[in-house]
């Protein structure tokens, strides 16, 4: 399965599958650019769920309506993926969080790759940012590694490879 097909599968999984439990992702963009970093995909939504009358009433009364997002980036497409590039990518994500009309409360950053996974994994594990959850997906072994933030640890529960 190609990386583009895998991104499409993850996108559908978040928009119509397990991701529906955490947020209502309703918009998807391909080849999304933010602060000089080009992401393969970006989806956004909010935490207010849709449904029938009782579900909507329950959601309106009990759930906050936070804007949220999810960025996808293939590490193989980046010439030199190092710690500086990861920091620049997180900075681009955070600036996009603040650019929204309604400031996003949290985002996921999914890094998909097949090369240099051990090095990138160390970079991801060292990230200490509580508003950006990072998940590294090794396309060869189909494993998911995450950052130590709460949002990063939760990413494993809602994506399916």
The DSSP letter of residue 75 is: G
* pLDDT for residue 20: 60
Confidence (pLDDT) at 102: 65
Structure tokens at 125: 């594990």
Domain ranges in the chain?
A: 3-158
3-state secondary structure 3-43: HHHHHHHHHHHHHHCHHHHCCEEEEEEEEEEECCEEEEEEE
Question: Do strands 37-46 and 132-138 pair parallel, antiparallel, or not at all (unpaired)?
Answer: unpaired
Query: Is residue 62 a contact partner of residue 51, using CB atoms and an 8 Å limit?
Result: no
pLDDT of residue 152: 83
The residue written with tokens 């072994």 in the block is: 141
Instruction: Report the alpha-carbon distance of residue 32 to residue 123 in Å, rounded.
Output: 23
- Tens digit of pLDDT at every position of the chain (161 positions): 787 888 888 877 777 766 666 677 788 889 998 888 899 999 988 876 666 777 667 767 776 778 888 899 998 888 888 889 889 999 998 888 887 666 787 888 999 988 888 888 888 888 888 888 899 988 888 888 888 888 888 877 777 77
Pairing of strands 24-34, 37-46: antiparallel
- Write down the pLDDT at residue 48: 64
Nearest to 140 by CA among 157, 116, 122: 116
């Amino acid at each position: 399965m190609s990386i583009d097909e895998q991104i499409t599968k993850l996108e559908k999984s978040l928009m119509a599958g397990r991701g529906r439990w955490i947020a209502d992702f309703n918009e998807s963009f391909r080849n999304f650019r933010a602060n000089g970093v080009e992401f393969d995909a970006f989806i956004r939504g909010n935490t207010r769920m849709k449904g029938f009358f009782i579900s909507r009433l329950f959601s309106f009364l009990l759930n906050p309506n936070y804007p949220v997002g999810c960025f996808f980036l293939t590490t193989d497409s980046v010439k030199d993926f190092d710690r500086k590039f990861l920091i620049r990518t997180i900075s681009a994500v955070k600036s996009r969080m603040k650019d929204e009309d309604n400031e996003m409360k949290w985002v996921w950053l999914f890094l998909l790759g097949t090369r240099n996974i051990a090095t990138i994994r160390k970079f991801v594990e060292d990230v200490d940012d509580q508003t950006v959850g990072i998940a590294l997906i090794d396309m060869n072994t189909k494993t998911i590694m995450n950052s130590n933030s709460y949002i990063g640890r939760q990413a494993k529960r809602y994506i399916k490879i």
